[in-house]
Amino acid sequence: MAALTPAAPPVTDAPAPARRPGRPRAGRGWRGAVLVIAAVYFLTPLLASFVFTVNDPVTGFTLDAYLEIFSAEGFVSSLLLSLGLAAATIVTVLVLTLPAMLAARLSAPRLRPVLEVLCTLPLVVPPITFVAGISTVLRWGPDYLATTPFYMTLIAVQNPSFPVVLVIANVVLALPFVYRALDAGLGAMDVRTLVEAARNCGASWPHVLLRVIIPNLKSGLASASFLTLALVLGEYTVARLLGFQPFSVWIVTISGSNAAMSVAVSIFSLLLTWLLLLVLSTAGTRRRRQS
């Protein structure tokens, strides 16, 4: 007789995986409470300031304080000056920092601690000391450089329509934040492998930087631009002591003439800064998702 083949056991459905227990309601409640407290803490002063600007004891609700902003003397010029300084500072600090960090990572790794110390050094120098040094140099220059070509350069960097000296000062102040943002972005990618692959394919160094490194570093560049923009729009000490009037200095100057309009200008500048930062943050997030 032929051997009987044992029948295969019937196939049964695999047991459904156990569901993860949901988060306890107590944890979600604490999270909601923290968010509510934070919202009240940040939004209450803004709401009180807004009510102060729109509530007139005689006429009631009015938006005259906000309408007067756009017709106030110096508003457009100071705002455009601050935006121009921010754009120039972002471009300058990225052009100076990114190649230096790439060179330190690829060719001279031992210099990375030195570069880090140099870029973070402005954090330990008080802004008032920093601007005092700049003022001393600007006062010293006309006396000792009057017979040299550097005299006109020294005068040109102090042009009130676009003070290049503020760009230089803002670049120094932004170095620590830009370095940290770019260092985090470079640490998240294999720079050496990408550069060697591109060089083996015959790409030049400018091509490697513009077509290989920058597209993979867009999130880090967006973060660095985000921080630099916030710093330049809010910087007051250096510009005020050097005698220039960007938007932050103009806000303080205009605050003594009209209380309601000064508060309205502060709210407007805060919303404008948030809008610009949101645009940069959204652009960086979108590019990160696309990559």
The full set of domains in the chain, from first to last, is: 66-188+216-290 (1.10.3720.10)
* pLDDT band at residue 257 using 50, 70 and 90 as cut-offs: low
Residue 163 vs residues 10, 238, 283: alpha-carbon distances, Å? 84, 12, 29
| 112: number of Cβ within 10 Å | 13
Question: Does residue 270 sit in helix, strand or coil?
Answer: helix
Task: Provide Rg for the chain, Cα atoms.
Answer: 28
pLDDT score for 1: 42
Residue 221 vs residues 95, 189, 267: alpha-carbon distances, Å? 11, 14, 28
Q: What is the pLDDT of residues 195-231, one digit of tens each?
A: 888 888 888 888 888 888 888 888 888 889 888 988 9
Whether the predicted model's global pTM rises above the 0.85 cut: no
pLDDT score for 162: 92
* pLDDT band at residue 11 using 50, 70 and 90 as cut-offs: low
pLDDT score for 87: 93
Q: Are strands 60-61 and 55-56 parallel, antiparallel or unpaired?
A: antiparallel
Contact 265, 254 (CB under 8 A): yes
Beta strands in the chain (DSSP E): 55-56, 60-61
Pick from 156, 214, 225, 161: nearest CA to 189: 214
Task: Decide if pLDDT at 174 tops 90.
Answer: yes
Question: Does residue 201 sit in helix, strand or coil?
Answer: coil
Packed helices 259-290 and 64-71: angle between N→C axes, nearest 10 degrees: 80
| DSSP type of residue 124 | G
* pLDDT band at residue 2 using 50, 70 and 90 as cut-offs: very low
